[in-house]
Structure 1
Amino acid sequence: MNRISHYRKKANVSQQALAQKLGWIQPRLANYETKARTPSLADSRLIVNALNQLGILCSLDDVFPPENESK
């Protein structure tokens, strides 16, 4: 489970805008948000860093909660 969409919306940015900030194309981010693909640890850290730069203070565990906490 991930909460990318939750925090992205909290930052009031579109998928396109966040993807651009990350240097990605929008479908890549959409695939992560819909859980069609799982981001690597490095990509997960990039996402959290980008959200923090947008003013949303969150941690890796906030955006990507450990399995036992997501149930």
Structure 2
Amino acid sequence: MNLIAEHREKAGIKQKELVVALGWTQARISNYEAGRRIAGLTECRAIVRALNKLGAPCSLDDVFPPEMEESQAA
């Protein structure tokens, strides 16, 4: 699970803006946000960079909390 949508919405960023910043499809971002697709480390870093660029002050651990990943693995 991740907190992409929460950080994006808190900063007033539309999903389409994030899509454009990343150069990805809307479906891809939507699937990451909904947890239907799991982002790899490279994608996670790209998402956080794009959120930062668009005005969302967040870190990798903010958007992809390690404790959330650990509980899923259990």
Q: How does 1:27-46 map to 2 (within 5 A)?
A: 27-46=27-46
Would you say how many aligned residue pairs link Structure 1 and Structure 2? 71
Which ranges in structure 2 are unaligned for 5 or more consecutive residues? none
1: CA distance between counterparts of 2:54 and 2:9?
A: 11
Structure with greater helix percent: 2
Q: What is the one-letter code of the residue matched to 1:41? A: L
Fraction of identical pairs, as percent: 52
TM-score (norm 2): 0.86
- Shift in Å, 1:69: 7.9
Q: List structure 1 segments (4+ residues) > 6 angstroms apart after TM superposition.
A: none
Partner of 1:13: 13
Partner of 1:26: 26
1:23-63 CA-partner distances (Å, limit 9, x unpaired): 01101000000000001100000000011111211110000
Tell me: CA distance 1:38–1:68, structure 2 relative to 1, closer, same or farther (3 Å): closer
Tell me: CA distance 1:7–1:41, structure 2 relative to 1, closer, same or farther (3 Å): same
Query: CA RMSD, aligned part only?
Result: 1.8
Which ranges in structure 1 are unaligned for 5 or more consecutive residues? none
